[in-house]
Structure 1
Amino acid sequence: MTDRSLPDQLDLIAGQWREPTLERADSIEDPNTGEVLQRQRATDPDGVERAITASEEAYPQWSSTSAEERAAALEAYADALAPLAPECARLESLGSGATIGTTSMLSFIFHAAFRLAAEQLRSGITETRLEGPTGRDVEVHRIGWGPAALLVPWNAPAPMAAHKAASALAAGCTVLIKPPERVPHGTALLGRGAEQAGLPPGVVQVVHGGPEVGGRLVTDDRVRAVSFTGGIVAGRAIAHACAEGLKPAQLELGGHGPLVAMPDADTAAVADGAVALLTTLNGQWCRALGRLLVPEDRREEITEAIVARLEAIRLGDSLEPTSAMGPIVHSSHLAMLADRVGELRSLGGTVLAPTPLPGGALAGGNWMSPTLISGVDPAHTREEVFGPAATVHGYSDTDEALEIANDNAYGLEAYVIGTDEDAAMDLGRRLHAGGVKVNGTSPMSLHLMAPRPAWGISGLMDEGTTETIEFFCGTRVVGVETSGETPAADAAGEAS
């Protein structure tokens, strides 16, 4: 029998577990059935204060450990988390509606992120040496800024939190993790793993709540760095608060990814790519399909191929391995998506939603067919939907396709599908996006060591294997200066 239970929501503050004392107005739902499973809970202001204080107190000792010591601690952390990965996958699937197949795949990141960060430490990412003019090296040290707030969204929270936490801990920061209020349980397992790995109290802490708790973390002067993945409204507020405090902020705020089908694109390849982008994480991810751009004379052919595939998609219980796609995370989000599709229909859109919805015991769930909307002027389709819905636009030539694709303020991920890879790559180089995948649509990075940039309103500061560690670091340069004239090699540089 499928386990549909949720553990208690528990804070980890200064090495102690406790239930958050405040009850929020909103609920945690089983999105498959619509059943309320728990009330959302929040850490009270005193608890947040104690967590920040403990993080500040733990920072000097943690940051002063050697890179090798931190690497060993991160590997022990990974060892503690690995047995928790199946439970993490179950909790993420039950809470978010993502299929258990998807959450099981992503749960590898839940522990592997810490091994990868340990490898980076051993590679020397936090200390380099330059040949100095006196014969002594100039030392370049990268040192963790201090306590760091890590705020993650509800669509794949635990793997995102693991990447942020592993990177921050590798840098020498202590971390304050706030899980998403709708899907908190998988992320909270990071606290259990830290305890089992023997990390000192205060190095990893978990607090709960919504914007009120996140706001306290972000605005506190003792929190010296903030890494946030989520919506643009919250992202702007965090950017403003961090600017006021002159603290670094790493923001990943969503996208509105175009998929350009080149004139020579194989119809099946385009259809498969579009369906994957509409159904991965149930369309609720920042790199999902926003606009499908196809040659005008092939619009009907490609649309029919996509619809045929969507008719065969099995929408079902997210915890059942045979389900190809699960439900929308929460009834309130489903209502928002319905409003957005209705708005596009009112603008002249033709709505195609061909996937059958579940019935029986699942009839009350948050179900939505992957949806295509055609016939809407591109000027009205510039905003992210954050769900399994995309608009379809015909183009006369690739210059027009490029113009439509780039006509929005986002710039996270874009996709090009074409038979001539050189031509597809050439168009990809001109797309306004931090990442462009040619003939591929997977949620994984193109390369383990490639950065994950965000352009425009999609965010600030690159993420990546090395980039996120470096974000959490300040740089200190130490060396012996020669007396007398400035070395010739520096003559063209600016005096500081």
Structure 2
Amino acid sequence: MLVHEGLYIGGEWRTAADNPSIEVRSPSTEELIGSVPAATPGDVDAAVAAARRALRSAEWAGLDPERRAELITRFADELVADLSERAALTSKQNGMPISVALPAEGELPVGLLRYYAEMIRNQPVEECRPRLDGRGTTVVRREPVGVVAAIVPWNFPQTLTMFKLAPALAAGCTVVLKPSPETVLDAFELAAAADRAGLPPGVLNVVPGGADIGSYLVAHPGVDKVAFTGSTAAGRSIGEVCGRLLRPVTLELGGKSAAIVVDDADVAAMAQRLAGVSLLNNGQTCYISTRILAPRSRYDEVVDAVAGLADSLTVGEPLARTTQIGPMVSSRHRDRVESYIALGVSEGAKMVAGGDRPDIDRGWFVRPTVFAGVDAGSRIAREEIFGPVLVVLPYDELDEAVVLANDSDYGLGGTVWTSDVDKGIDLARRMETGSVGVNFYSLDPGAPFGGYKDSGLGRELGPEGLTAYQHLKSIYLPL
């Protein structure tokens, strides 16, 4: 069992003997696997104060981009050293299949650190532009936005931390990280790696806790920017606070993404790829295509293919290499997913796969579930379930498919399935969503990621992800 006695604040592991503990249980065995101290408001105050000191310190603010990039690269090197162990730690905490965790939680955080380190090496701190009126020049300067409150969820904890931490460090910001209570252990391992890499004291601080600590951190007067990934409801509350405070905020929120299956699609090939597109991480992924829109002329064929895929997937222990679907992150979350399955039945949808628990003695498992005959206005077709539950909806014409895809409060991901790539690109352009895959879906760290509508504000990844952590200052010079 992994037990931490202190909090990482100001470059030190501070003893927190009197703090209540956050206990982490394995979703596959239900056994206790670790604990950390829960942060108090006083701990948050200390973390923010440490971050503010570091922000102006010679050890951090005094570094040129090359030296800062060297530190970030050293951080990446430290993460490489225990890559497999970190990936397994995520699997143990949230049930992610290890086949997903190794690239997503092991390799991608390292890649993001190196990507932004290289970007900051090649980005000038200042550039000189001629004035449009011809009366001199303007120096455009990039400066760090300041102290960043980074609040991350449990589904991809290390990757989503690095969506924020890597560009923030590259920009010269300092960070107070609040991990989700379900996945706090890996946050402490990241902090230990940062410490070994030599990040100056206060550049990274970790304050685990629940929604109360998150709210306290978001509204803290010492915070300059908030970066949040999580539910739309929580994001709306955070956005309201940041709007009142005129505080920059990035919000990556929920989704109910659509997959448009064109009548010329290779349905068998599509079904094989849906495991990673629509059921990734046990369905606990924000951008996955959980609404399958099928042409009425091929509706039964699509339903059979999707149901067949769901029934074929191996459900089991997340650390087993053959597992494709692991458990839900918690008993409470499994109850939520199962309540939606019951709701789908009560709404009159036809369950064509799954709908029950596998024959496994322990753990919070749900078999992948597929509904056909679903009304487009039903709750299972409109609300984010965040579990392995798919709905298949019919359409008659492609224009109707686009309308159905866009008839959502969300707009985060989406896919198009067709043998005509140009047609797929055209359909992708018409979809009101932040990202679309044609015949597959995989995030590109070099391109911006984020949502339309209730799926969030701002963008992460790509050069745009770095810009989100920079202030731009113009210095006007006469002739």
TM-score, L = length of structure 2: 0.94
Instruction: Tell whether the 8 Å contact from 2:3 to 2:34 is kept in structure 1 after alignment.
Output: no
Alignment-derived partner of residue 88 in structure 1:
86
Separation of aligned partners in 2, 1:170 and 1:55: 15
Say which of 50, 56, 62 aligns to 2:46.
50
Aligned partner letter, 2:251: L
Query: CA RMSD for the aligned pairs?
Result: 2.0
Greater shift, 117-126 or 328-337, is seen at 117-126
Q: Which runs of 4+ in 1 moved over 4 A?
A: 38-41, 132-137, 355-358
Deviations 1:340-365 (A, max 9, x none): 12112111111233499554xx4221
Conserved? CA contact 2:163–2:460, under 8 Å: no
Query: Structure 2: which amino acid aligns with 1:327?
Result: P
Q: Whole-Å Cα distance in 1 between the matches of residues 228 and 114 of structure 2? A: 22
Partner of 2:82: helix, strand, or coil? helix
2:127 corresponding residue in structure 1: 128
Unaligned runs of 5+ in 2: none
Question: How do 1:389-400 and structure 2 match up within 5 A?
Answer: 389-400=389-400
The SS at the match of 2:477 is coil
Report 1:173-322 matches (<5 A): 173-322=173-322
Residue 110 of structure 1 aligns to a residue whose secondary structure is helix
- In 1, the alpha carbon distance for the partners of 2:66 and 2:290 equals 44
Query: Cα offset for 1:170?
Result: 1.0
Is the deviation greater in 144-153 or in 125-134? 125-134
Q: Is the contact made by 1:295 and 1:394 (CA closer than 8 Å) also made in structure 2?
A: yes
2:474 paired residue among 472, 477, 483: 477
Q: CA, structure 1 residues 272+463, in 2 after alignment: closer, same or farther (shift >3 Å)?
A: same
Q: Is the 8 A contact 2:4 2:37 kept in 1?
A: no
**Is the alpha carbon distance of 1:10 and 1:466 closer, same or farther for their aligned partners in structure 2, counting shifts above 3 Å?**
farther
C-alpha contact (below 8 Å) 1:134/1:481 kept by paired residues: no
Paired amino acid for 2:79: L
Matching residue's letter, 1:466? P
- Cα 1:341–1:126, aligned 2, differ >3 Å: closer, same or farther? farther
Query: Shift of the alpha carbon at 1:97?
Result: 0.3
C-alpha contact 1:43 1:207 (8 A) present in aligned 2: yes
Report sequence identity in percent.
33
Amino acid at match of 1:257: S
CA shift, 1:94, in A, is 0.4
Please report how far the alpha carbon of residue 38 of structure 1 lies from its aligned counterpart in structure 2 after TM superposition: 4.5
Could you give the per-residue CA deviations for residues 422-457 of structure 1, whole angstroms, max 9, x where no partner exists? 122211110110111111133x32xx4321131101
Is 1:115 the counterpart of 2:111 in the alignment? no
Separation (CA, whole Å) in 2 of partners of 1:77 and 1:239: 31
Total equivalences in the alignment = 472
Change in Cα spacing, 1:77 to 1:135, as seen in structure 2 (3 Å) is: farther
Q: Which residue of 2 aligns with 1:65?
A: 63
The 3 A distance-change label for structure 1 pair 339 and 358 is closer
In the alignment, does 2:335 pair up with 1:335? yes
Q: What is the CA-CA distance between 1:309 and the residue it aligns to?
A: 2.4
Which whole-Å deviations, capped at 9, do the CAs of 1:260-280 have from their partners, x for residues lacking one? 100111111231233333331
User: How do 1:125-164 and structure 2 match up within 5 A?
Assistant: 126-131=125-130, 138-164=138-164
- Pair 332,178 (structure 1): closer, same or farther in 2 beyond 3 Å: same
Other-structure match for 1:456: 453
Structure 2 SS opposite 1:91: helix
In the alignment, the residues of structure 2 paired with residue 96 and residue 189 of structure 1 have an alpha-carbon distance, to the nearest angstrom, of 16
Stretch deviating more after TM superposition (272-281 or 194-203)? 272-281
1:82-133 deviation per Cα after TM superposition (whole angstroms, max 9, x unaligned): 2122221011010010011111111112222211111111111643332357
Shift of 1:322: 1.7
What displacement does 1:9 show?
6.5
The answer on whether the counterparts of 1:63 and 1:143 sit within 8 Å (CA) in structure 2 is no
Give the conservation status (yes or no) of the 8 Å contact 1:9–1:184: no
2:102 equivalent in structure 1:
104
Q: Distance in 2 between matches of 1:289 and 1:37?
A: 32
| Partner SS state of residue 202, structure 1 | coil
The match for 2:31 is: 35
Instruction: For residue 329 of structure 1, give the secondary structure of its aligned residue in structure 2.
Output: coil
CA distance in 2, matches of 1:466, 1:309: 37
* Cα distance in 2, alignment partners of residues 429 and 212 from structure 1: 40
Distance in 1, Cα, partners of 2:111 & 2:3: 24
Q: CA separation in 2, counterparts of 1:19 and 1:195?
A: 16
CA 1:356 to 1:336, structure 2 compared with 1: closer, same or farther past 3 Å? closer
Specify the code of the residue in structure 2 equivalent to 1:339: S
CA contact (8 A) 1:424 1:438 kept: yes
Q: Give the residue type in structure 1 aligned to 2:461.
A: G
SS in 2 for 1:292: strand
Would you say the 8 A contact 2:143–2:171 is kept in 1?
yes
Deviations 1:157-194 (A, max 9, x none): 11111231111111111111111110111122221112
Supply the distance in 2 between the matched residues of 1:353 and 1:28 (Cα, whole angstroms): 31
Give the direction of change, closer, same or farther, for the CA distance of 1:378–1:41 in structure 2 (3 Å limit).
Answer: farther
Residue 468 of structure 1 is matched in structure 2 by 465
SS of the equivalent of 1:338 reads helix
Q: 2: distance between equivalents of 1:408 and 1:18?
A: 46
2:8–2:14 Cα contact (<8 Å) kept? yes
